[in-house]
């Protein structure tokens, strides 16, 4: 009899889960953060939260952002829509001791637009490793890869991959991670024998529990000596505009999460007046490859 009750309870739990998940509900579609070390034992945080609804209409998400028991935002009700809506939070400037782990977002989806009604889904999201940049530079007969992270959680390390066509990839090395780290960490890997023509590189970041993620792809052309960069930008840090020197085929501005942000570029000047404070990247395509320059507002 007890065994039958356990089976019945399990069936009720499974039915409740699928019934709740099927409801028209708000949910968090993506979550990004930027962390800028101010050099004075404080850091400045900015957050972007994308919300949406599962099957149309205006629903909601109850959200909070916390870090080591410090609440950036608590009990916030976010309305959703049929397309992604992005909410922005920050800047918050805190002492390192206040937030010395990676911030996380705790959210629950709701079936109406006021965070009431049934609670249908929810999740706690922590970004394990925040990549800051990833560059490849030709130096003599070698290619030097360098990258950095703003924070790391459970980071075992990085597998380094190389390709000549972006189709077939070969593992060429491994670099240990820093496990759990709040500080900015910089990594370097030297590819001793790049091929003639284009050389593409990508990192596979692996956690201690086996979970992994791939970075964006960077490349160089080994027939060029790219020891001297073709592009420079100023000022850095910047305020409402960035000036560009050098020749390039195309240029764009990326957020810390790697997403392109909308800016106006004219006469080698980038209008950055609409950007929030944080870390960004100027990605320029030149005849020698792709150059990525980290900038701070």
**Residues 114 and 24 reside in one and the same domain:** yes
pLDDT, residue 86, reads: 92
pLDDT, residue 39, reads: 63
User: Does 237 sit behind a cis peptide bond, omega within 30 degrees of 0 on the bond before it?
Assistant: yes
CA nearest neighbour of 255 among 34, 99, 63? 34
Q: What is the DSSP letter of 208?
A: T
Which residues pair with residue 62 across a beta bridge? 77, 108
**Residues 173 and 234 reside in one and the same domain:** no
Tell me which residue range forms the domain holding 292: 229-297
**Residues 216 and 241 reside in one and the same domain:** no
pLDDT, residue 14, reads: 31
**Residues 204 and 242 reside in one and the same domain:** no
**Residues 173 and 213 reside in one and the same domain:** yes
Which CATH number belongs to the domain containing residue 36 in this structure?
2.60.40
Helix then strand count (H, E) for the chain reads 1, 21
State phi, psi for 34 to the nearest 5 degrees.
-125, 140
**Residues 207 and 221 reside in one and the same domain:** yes
Which residues pair with residue 144 across a beta bridge? 137, 190
pLDDT, residue 159, reads: 95
Final residue before a domain boundary, out of 227, 258, 283 = 227
Q: How many CB atoms within 10 Å of residue 112?
A: 16
Final residue before a domain boundary, out of 72, 92, 126 = 126
Which residues pair with residue 64 across a beta bridge? 106
User: Does 91 sit behind a cis peptide bond, omega within 30 degrees of 0 on the bond before it?
Assistant: yes
pLDDT in tens for each of the 297 residues of the chain? 323 333 333 333 332 333 334 368 899 988 877 766 666 777 788 888 999 998 777 799 999 998 877 899 999 999 998 889 999 998 888 887 787 667 788 999 998 889 987 788 898 887 667 776 787 877 777 888 988 886 787 889 999 999 988 888 999 999 999 988 767 788 999 999 888 777 889 898 888 888 777 777 787 765 444 445 678 888 888 889 999 988 888 888 887 656 788 899 988 999 999 888 877 878 888 777 777 787 888
**Residues 186 and 253 reside in one and the same domain:** no
**Residues 218 and 233 reside in one and the same domain:** no
Final residue before a domain boundary, out of 126, 141, 171 = 126
**Residues 213 and 157 reside in one and the same domain:** yes
**Residues 27 and 143 reside in one and the same domain:** no
**Residues 173 and 59 reside in one and the same domain:** no
Number of domains within the chain: 3
**Residues 188 and 250 reside in one and the same domain:** no
């Amino acid at each position: 009899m007890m065994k039958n009750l356990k089976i019945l309870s399990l069936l009720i739990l499974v039915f409740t889960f699928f019934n709740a998940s099927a409801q028209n509900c708000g949910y968090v579609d993506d979550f990004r953060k930027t962390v800028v070390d101010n050099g004075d034992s404080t850091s400045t945080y900015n957050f972007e939260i994308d919300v949406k609804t599962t099957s149309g209409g205006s629903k909601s998400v109850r959200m909070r952002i916390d870090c080591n028991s410090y609440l950036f935002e608590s009990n916030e009700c976010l309305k959703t829509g049929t397309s992604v809506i992005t909410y922005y939070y920050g800047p918050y400037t805190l002492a390192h001791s206040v937030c010395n782990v990676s911030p996380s977002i705790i959210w629950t989806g709701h079936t109406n637009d006021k965070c009431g009604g049934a609670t249908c889904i929810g999740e706690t999201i922590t970004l394990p490793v925040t990549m800051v940049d990833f560059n490849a530079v030709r130096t003599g007969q070698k290619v030097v890869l360098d990258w950095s992270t703003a924070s790391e959680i459970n980071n075992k390390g990085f597998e380094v991959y190389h390709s000549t066509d972006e189709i077939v990839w070969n593992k060429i090395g491994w670099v240990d991670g820093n496990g759990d780290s709040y500080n900015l960490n910089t990594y370097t890997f030297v590819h001793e024998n790049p091929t003639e023509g284009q050389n593409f590189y990508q990192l596979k970041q692996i956690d201690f529990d086996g979970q992994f993620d791939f970075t964006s792809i960077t490349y160089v052309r080994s027939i060029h000596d790219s020891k001297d960069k073709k592009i420079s930008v100023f000022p850095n840090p910047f305020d409402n505009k960035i000036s560009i020197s050098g020749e390039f085929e195309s240029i764009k501005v990326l957020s810390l999460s790697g997403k392109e942000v909308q800016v106006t570029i004219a006469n080698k000047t980038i209008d950055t007046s609409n950007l929030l404070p944080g870390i960004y990247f100027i990605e320029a395509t030149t005849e020698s490859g792709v150059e990525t320059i980290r900038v701070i507002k």
